[in-house]
Each structure stands twice: as structure tokens, then as C-alpha cells.
Amino acid sequence: MKSVVKQEVLALNGDEAVAYAAKQSDVDVVAAYPITPQTIIVEKFSEYVANGEVETEFVCTESEHSALTACLAAAVTGARTFTASASAGLALMHEMLFVTSGCRAPVVMAIANRALSAPLNIHGDQSDTMVERDSGWIQIYAESVQEVYDSMIQAFRIGENLEVLLPVIVGLDGFTLSHSLENVNVLPDDVAKKFVGIRQLPNVLTHEGKTLPFKLDPENPMSMGPVAFPNYYTEFKRQQEEAMKNALKIIPQVHEEYAQISGRHYGDGLLDAYCLDDAEIATVCLGSTAGTVKTVVDELRAEGVKAGLLRIRTFRPLPMEGIIKALENVKAVAVMDKSMSFGGQGGPVFHEVRHVLYDVLAHPYVVNYIYGLGGRDTSLEQIREIYGDLQKILQTKRVEEPIRYVGLRE
């Protein structure tokens, strides 16, 4: 059992917390392109480079597609790489997201979650990362700036784990977290560096029949990600699914090890349950909204209402068993989506939570709330109304409208 280390408290916004964590994580290469609300991350990191505070190779690229390509190229030589983006920037990376995960390159990327155009909107919602949920990247959504910092440090360890070898997105709600100043406990540099450690490489069999470290090296050539025909493509995709399954095991391990030195827990690292043990009604959400919901849960609990919250911290891989365990005894669940799936009958988080609960014999009522799009604030009162709706569903035993919009003007 390691003891909690003494930590300095810094006033950081979410973007600065990301840059600070990257600085402490001994990153070899950063390639990035600026976009609101992520820009501060790269600006801050480039200051560290200019001041000689890091030994990182900083590459200014002409687009996000190139930024991720540069990170991928560096990562497959064995380097630790980091980038950051948001919204349209992430969308431009779309092609390379699949190449990166397919090449099993553990790039870490912070996404300051922002709405997608059109109409143009620079404010926060989770549309940008939600559309990339099938791209083979691990997705962790932070609730606070503190958690942004902590998740970033953990992300390198998770992605680079030899049983995982997958790229990781750390999502922080645009402006709500990216631009909000918070007191953040930071690990001493040496402790953070030791925790992240040196990137290890697995051994793989090459075309020359040699077993060599998994990296591009002119002395020991190997080809990565060349053509795979129908007779092999499925096998490679199945490997990626296995890596995601392994991540379900590794994320809580890394989270626990980190908790022992930092003193900070976020549930088990996958799911963060709040007042769920005896809850009859509950909401499910991702990211910073959980802070607002917790306040409402406290108020409702004081009034004797058995309300709870399940925050999904790790959305990819989806902790299916944990969600079942957390919600199987709840009677009505409201799933909150900060993005839409047009024509899909509800948002993506709703789809997945309801899909998971299908295996629960006496499954709860599950309804969907689309909220906070394009940075629209969600008030305590609106969250209260959601819990009120759930109570009404339990009383009437009827779901009038399974998909609802918070604060929409009819």
C-alpha cells in the first residue's frame, strides 16, 4: 500500500490541467493544430517547449488530419505522443482515428468537447467524440478539472499497457471544464513521471520470421497496417475488440494504483455511482453535468426521495456488467445525452444503456433526455424536473414520451 503523496495546489483551467499533465508525462512528440476550445492546451504546451521545460519534439502541422498522422507516425517508432482537438478538428481526423487504433498506436488525445457545425457553434456538447465512439479509441469523460488532470496521467498508462495498446481520448466539456478555473492538486513531477513510466513495447513476429519489439526501426524492418484482405481483416478487428475487453480490466487497475498515490477515486475508474445503492429513480450522464446532478440528488435525498446518479466515466470500452449491476434494482432511469443521433430514436448513451439493460429481466423504465446542446446551460431546476418525470412514470406506470428535450422551446 503506497501512501498518498503531498501535492501542490495550482489554479488551473481544464486546458491548462491537460497541458500540465502532458508536461509531467514525459511525452516525446506533440503534433497539434489549434481549435477552440482546445487551443489553450497547445498554446500552454508550446510555452513549455519554448521555455525548455520539456524535451518534447513539437510539430506544428497544417491540419488536424496531419497532426494525428504525425502522432501516429511517431507512436509507431515507440515514442510517447500526445495531441488535442475538438469539434471540426476531431472530425477532420476521422480517417486517421481508425488508422491509429488499427495500428495499435497508443496516442493520447485530449478533446475539449464542442458542438459540430452547422449552424456554427463553438460551445460545449459531446457530439464530436460521440460520433467517434466506433473508431477504436478508449474514451474517458472527466467531471471536474481535477479529474481531467488525473485522467490524463492515467491515460498514458492505460493506452500503453501491453494488453491494451489502444489510443485514448480524454474528454473535457468545452468551456464548462476547458475554460473554468479550479484548484487542482498536482503530483510532484518525479512522482508523475515515475507513475507514467517508460513506454514498453511488445514483441511481434516479423516477415523475416524474427521476434522483435513492435516499432518501426530501419535496422529491423517491419510493415504495420498494410493491406489485409477479406481472409484476414476480421481477425485484426477481433484483436482490437479483445484489447477493449482487456482495457475494462486495466483501467480500474491503473485508476486504483493512481488513487493510492493521489488519494483520489472516481468510482472504479469505469463508473462513478452516486447514492445508487437503494435508489428507485436515477439519471445516467457523462462529464461535468454529474456535478450539477449530484447537487440535485443531495436535495432530493434530504426530502426523502430515493434518487441516484450513475456517471459513465469510461464510455469506451462500455462497462456493460457494471452498468447492469448499478441499475438493475432501479425502477426508472433517465439517460442524459449531450449529443444527438438523428433518426436513431434517441441519443447514443441512451441507445447503449437501454441495450445493456435488456439483459435485466425486470428492467427499469428507461427514458432519454437530450440536453445541453451547443453549450446550453442545464439548471438545477431542469434536473429536478427530470427526477420529477421519473417519479411520475413510477406513479402512472406509463412512459408517454421516451425521448425528451431539456429546455426546448416548443
Interface residues with other proteins (CB under 8 A) are: 102-105, 165, 202, 204-209, 214, 222-226, 228-229, 231-232, 234-236, 238-239, 242
Please list the alpha-helical segments (H only) found in 103-161: 127-130, 145-160
User: Could you give the angle at the alpha carbon of 398 between the alpha carbons of 397 and 404, nearest 5°?
Assistant: 130
Q: Toward other proteins, which CB reaches closer, 209 or 304?
A: 209
Write down the least CB distance from residue 166 to other proteins, Å.
Answer: 10
Distance CA 370, CA 387 (A): 15
Q: Which residues of 12-44 are buried (b: 16+ CB within 10 A; e: fewer)?
A: bbbbbbbbbbbbbbbbbbbbbbbbbbbbbbbeb
| Nearest approach, Cβ of residue 209 and other proteins (Å) | 8
| Shortest distance (Å) from residue 218 CB to other proteins | 16
Cβ nearer to other proteins, comparing 224 with 360: 224
In the complex with other proteins, the residue whose CB is nearer, 131 or 204, is 204
Task: Please name the residues in contact with 223: beta carbons below 8 A apart, sequence gap of 6 or more.
Answer: 207
Dump the DSSP string for 163-177: TT---EEEEEETTTT
Residue 89 CB, nearest distance to other proteins (Å)? 25
| Cross-sheet strand order for the sheet of 108-113 | 57-60, 29-32, 81-85, 108-113, 168-173, 138-141, 314-316
Among residues 204 and 340, whose Cβ is nearest to other proteins?
204
How far is the CA of 147 from the CAs of 76, 258, 267, in angstroms?
28, 12, 12
In the bound state with other proteins, the residue whose beta carbon lies nearer, of 232 and 358, is 232
Q: Report in angstroms how near the CB of residue 161 gets to other proteins at its nearest.
A: 13
In the complex, least distance from residue 92 CB atom to other proteins, rounded to whole angstroms: 23
* 285 closest CA partner among 184, 363, 386, 149: 386
Alpha helix ranges (H) inside 165-263: 189-196, 233-262
H/E stretch holding 108 reads strand 108-113
Cα separation, 95 vs 91, whole angstroms = 9
Please say which residue, 197 or 202, places its beta carbon nearer to other proteins. Answer: 202
Between 221 and 402, CB nearer to other proteins: 221
DSSP, collapsed to helix, strand or coil, labels residue 8 as strand
Q: Output the smallest distance, CB 219 to other proteins, in A.
A: 16
Q: Which has the closest alpha carbon to 187: 258, 257, 262? A: 262
Give min distance, CB of 160 to other proteins, in A: 13
User: Among residues 194 and 210, whose Cβ is nearest to other proteins?
Assistant: 210
